[in-house]
Structure 1
Amino acid sequence: MGMEAILPRATERGGVVTPGLPVLPPGVERHPVPGGGSRAVQITAGDVLTLQDREGLQPVELVFFAPDGRSDAAMIGAAGGHDPVGLKRALTADASGARVRHALDVAGFDLGRADGILLFGEGSRAGEHASLTAASDGLLLVCAPGGPMEPQEHWAPTEIVLYIRRSRPANETTLLEPPPPLADPLHDINVQPGEAHSYEVRKGQYIQVLDVQGRECSDFQAFSARALEKGLERDIDPTTTRTLMGQAYPMPGMRSKYYTVDQEPLVEVVRDTVGRHDTFGLACTARYYADMGYPGHVNCSDNINLRMAQYGVRPRAGWPAVNLFFNTMLDDHNAITSDEPWSRPGDYVLMRALTDLVCVTTACPSDIDPANGWNPTDIQVRTYSDDNRFSHWTGWRKTPEGDMEETKKTGFHDCFARHTRDFVEYQGYWLPNEMTAHGAIAEYWAAREKAVIMDLSPLRKYEVTGPDAEALLQHCVTRDMSKLPAGAVAYTAMCYEHGGMIDDGTVFRLDENNFRWIGGSDQSGLWLRRQAEERGLNAWVRSSTDHHCNVAVQGRLSRDILAPLIWTPPARPTVEELGCFRLTVGRIGDQYGAPVVVSRTGYSGELGYEVFCHPRDAEAVFDAIWAAGEPRGMIPFGLKALDMLRIEAGLVFAGSEFDDQTDPLEAGIGFTVPLKSKTDDFIGRAALERRKAHPQKKLVGLDIEGGVVPGHGDCVHVGKPQIGVITSAMKSPFLGKVIALARLDVAHADIGTEVEVGLLDGDQKRLKARVVPFPHFDPKRERVNGNYA
Structure 2
Amino acid sequence: MNVTPIFETPYERAGIVTPGLPILPHGTERHPIPGGGSRALPIHKGDEISVLDFEGLQPGELVFFTPDGNSDPGRLGASSHGRPDGVISVLDNGSPSGAKVAAALDKAGFKLGDAQCIRVFSEGSKPGDMATFFAECDGLLIVAAPGAPMDPAQQTPLTDLILYIRRANPGHAKGGHVPPDPLADPLVDINIQPGNATSYEVKKGQFIQVLDVQGRECSDFQAFSLRSLDAGLEREIDPTTTRTLMGSLYPQPGIFSKYWNVDQEPLVEIVQDTCGRHDTFGLACTARYYEELGYPGHINCSDNMNKDLQQYGIRPRGGWPAINFFFNTLLDETNALGMDDPWSRPGDYVLLRALTDLICISSACPCDVDQANGWNPTDIQVRTYAETNSFSRSIGYRKSPEAPLEHTKETGFHNSFARHTRDFVEYNGYWLPNTFPSHGSVGEYWACREKAAIMDLSPLRKYEVTGPDAEELMQHCVTRNVKKLAVGQLTYTAICYEHGGMIDDGTLFRMGENAFRWIGGNDTSGLWIREQAEKLGLNAWVRNSTDQLHNVAIQGPLSRDILKEVLWTAPANPTVEELGMFRFTPARLGDFDGTAVVLGRAGYSGELGYEVFCHPKDAEEVFDAIWNVGKPMGMAPLGLAALDMIRIEAGLIFAGSEFDDQTDPFEAGIGFTVPLKSKNDDFIGRAALEERKAHPQRKLVGLELEGGLVASPGDCVRIGKAQVGEVTSAVKSPILGKNIALARVSVAHAEPGTEIEVGQLDGLQKRLKAKVVPYPHFDPTKERVKGNYG
TM-score range, shorter chain: over 0.9
Cα–Cα, structure 1 residues 65 and 315, in superposed 2: closer, same or farther, change >3 Å? Answer: closer
The aligned residue for residue 37 of structure 1 is 37
**Counterparts of 2:489 and 2:789, CA distance in 1:** 24
Report the residue type matching 2:617 in the other structure.
R
1:515 and 2:516 correspond = yes
The aligned residue for residue 415 of structure 1 is 416
User: Pairwise mapping of residues 246-285 of structure 1 onto structure 2 (< 5 A)?
Assistant: 246-285=247-286
User: Pairwise mapping of residues 100-249 of structure 1 onto structure 2 (< 5 A)?
Assistant: 100-171=101-172, 174-249=175-250
CA deviation map 1:17-37 (0-9, x unaligned): 111011110121212111111
Report the residue type matching 1:466 in the other structure.
G
**Counterparts of 1:606 and 1:788, CA distance in 2:** 13
Give the TM-score of the pair, scaled to structure 2. 0.98
**Counterparts of 2:490 and 2:109, CA distance in 1:** 53
Deviation at 1:2, TM superposition (A): 9.4
Deviation at 1:172, TM superposition (A): 7.1
Aligned residues of 2:219 and 2:364 also touching (Cα < 8 A): yes
SS of 2:617's equivalent?
helix
Report the residue type matching 1:40 in the other structure.
A
Deviation at 1:109, TM superposition (A): 2.9
CA deviation map 1:306-344 (0-9, x unaligned): 222222222222221111111000112111110111011
SS of 1:96's equivalent?
helix
CA deviation map 1:742-785 (0-9, x unaligned): 11111111111111111001111111111110000111111111
**Counterparts of 2:503 and 2:433, CA distance in 1:** 26
CA deviation map 1:557-600 (0-9, x unaligned): 11111111101111111111111111111111112221111111
Deviation at 1:787, TM superposition (A): 4.7
Report the residue type matching 2:582 in the other structure.
F
SS of 1:687's equivalent?
helix
The aligned residue for residue 74 of structure 2 is 74
Cα–Cα, structure 1 residues 366 and 250, in superposed 2: closer, same or farther, change >3 Å? Answer: same
1:353 and 2:354 correspond = yes
Deviation at 1:174, TM superposition (A): 4.0
The aligned residue for residue 661 of structure 2 is 660
**Counterparts of 2:167 and 2:176, CA distance in 1:** 17
Cα–Cα, structure 1 residues 69 and 232, in superposed 2: closer, same or farther, change >3 Å? Answer: closer
**Counterparts of 2:222 and 2:140, CA distance in 1:** 43
**Counterparts of 2:139 and 2:380, CA distance in 1:** 33
The aligned residue for residue 21 of structure 1 is 21
**Counterparts of 1:71 and 1:528, CA distance in 2:** 41
Report the residue type matching 2:61 in the other structure.
E
**Counterparts of 1:450 and 1:3, CA distance in 2:** 64
CA deviation map 1:341-366 (0-9, x unaligned): 10111111111111111111121121
Aligned residues of 1:703 and 1:771 also touching (Cα < 8 A): yes
SS of 2:463's equivalent?
strand
Aligned residues of 1:329 and 1:338 also touching (Cα < 8 A): yes
The aligned residue for residue 566 of structure 1 is 567
**Counterparts of 2:301 and 2:45, CA distance in 1:** 46
- Which range moved further: 487-496 or 280-289? 280-289
The aligned residue for residue 761 of structure 2 is 760
**Counterparts of 1:363 and 1:733, CA distance in 2:** 52
Report the residue type matching 1:75 in the other structure.
R
1:54 and 2:50 correspond = no
Report the residue type matching 1:163 in the other structure.
Y
**Counterparts of 1:70 and 1:272, CA distance in 2:** 41
Report the residue type matching 1:176 in the other structure.
H
Aligned residues of 1:328 and 1:337 also touching (Cα < 8 A): yes
**Counterparts of 1:694 and 1:82, CA distance in 2:** 66
Cα–Cα, structure 1 residues 194 and 135, in superposed 2: closer, same or farther, change >3 Å? Answer: closer
Aligned residues of 2:175 and 2:214 also touching (Cα < 8 A): no
The aligned residue for residue 787 of structure 2 is 786
Aligned residues of 2:328 and 2:340 also touching (Cα < 8 A): yes
The aligned residue for residue 506 of structure 1 is 507
The aligned residue for residue 463 of structure 2 is 462
Taking only aligned residues, the RMSD between alpha carbons, in angstroms, comes to 1.6
Q: Where in structure 1 do 4 or more consecutive aligned residues deviate above 4 Å?
A: 1-4
Report the residue type matching 1:421 in the other structure.
R
SS of 2:785's equivalent?
coil
The aligned residue for residue 736 of structure 2 is 735
Q: Percent same amino acid among aligned pairs? A: 68
Report the residue type matching 2:77 in the other structure.
G
Deviation at 1:190, TM superposition (A): 1.8
The aligned residue for residue 377 of structure 1 is 378
- Which range moved further: 89-98 or 648-657? 89-98
Deviation at 1:303, TM superposition (A): 2.0
**Counterparts of 2:569 and 2:587, CA distance in 1:** 4
- Which range moved further: 83-92 or 387-396? 83-92
**Counterparts of 2:358 and 2:70, CA distance in 1:** 52
Aligned residues of 1:26 and 1:172 also touching (Cα < 8 A): no
1:555 and 2:552 correspond = no
Deviation at 1:173, TM superposition (A): 5.5
The aligned residue for residue 579 of structure 1 is 580
**Counterparts of 2:738 and 2:620, CA distance in 1:** 39
Aligned residues of 1:5 and 1:25 also touching (Cα < 8 A): no
Report the residue type matching 1:78 in the other structure.
A
CA deviation map 1:201-233 (0-9, x unaligned): 111111111111111111111111111121222
**Counterparts of 1:107 and 1:304, CA distance in 2:** 43
- Which range moved further: 219-228 or 3-12? 3-12
The aligned residue for residue 626 of structure 2 is 625
SS of 1:293's equivalent?
coil
CA deviation map 1:678-709 (0-9, x unaligned): 11111111110011011111111111112211
**Counterparts of 1:721 and 1:42, CA distance in 2:** 66
Aligned residues of 2:664 and 2:689 also touching (Cα < 8 A): yes
Aligned residues of 1:494 and 1:501 also touching (Cα < 8 A): yes
Aligned residues of 2:83 and 2:113 also touching (Cα < 8 A): no
Aligned residues of 2:701 and 2:772 also touching (Cα < 8 A): yes
Report the residue type matching 2:668 in the other structure.
A
CA deviation map 1:14-62 (0-9, x unaligned): 1111110111101212121111111222223332222110001111112
The aligned residue for residue 92 of structure 2 is 92
Give the number of aligned pairs.
Answer: 789
Unaligned stretches of 5+ residues in structure 1: none
**Counterparts of 2:723 and 2:363, CA distance in 1:** 46
The aligned residue for residue 389 of structure 1 is 390
**Counterparts of 1:43 and 1:382, CA distance in 2:** 26
Give the TM-score of the pair, scaled to structure 1. 0.98
- Which range moved further: 642-651 or 211-220? 211-220
Aligned residues of 1:279 and 1:321 also touching (Cα < 8 A): no
- Which range moved further: 426-435 or 70-79? 70-79
Deviation at 1:77, TM superposition (A): 2.1
SS of 1:320's equivalent?
coil
The aligned residue for residue 450 of structure 1 is 451
SS of 2:528's equivalent?
helix
Deviation at 1:651, TM superposition (A): 0.2
Deviation at 1:297, TM superposition (A): 1.9
SS of 1:783's equivalent?
helix
Deviation at 1:72, TM superposition (A): 3.1
**Counterparts of 2:169 and 2:317, CA distance in 1:** 50
Unaligned stretches of 5+ residues in structure 2: none
Report the residue type matching 1:19 in the other structure.
P
SS of 1:241's equivalent?
helix
Report the residue type matching 2:20 in the other structure.
G
SS of 2:529's equivalent?
helix
SS of 1:29's equivalent?
strand
The aligned residue for residue 673 of structure 1 is 674
**Counterparts of 2:576 and 2:176, CA distance in 1:** 60
CA deviation map 1:402-431 (0-9, x unaligned): 100000000000111111111000000000
SS of 1:592's equivalent?
coil
Aligned residues of 1:583 and 1:600 also touching (Cα < 8 A): yes
Aligned residues of 2:261 and 2:267 also touching (Cα < 8 A): yes
**Counterparts of 2:323 and 2:663, CA distance in 1:** 38
SS of 2:316's equivalent?
coil
The aligned residue for residue 701 of structure 1 is 702
The aligned residue for residue 295 of structure 2 is 294
SS of 1:341's equivalent?
coil
**Counterparts of 1:356 and 1:676, CA distance in 2:** 70
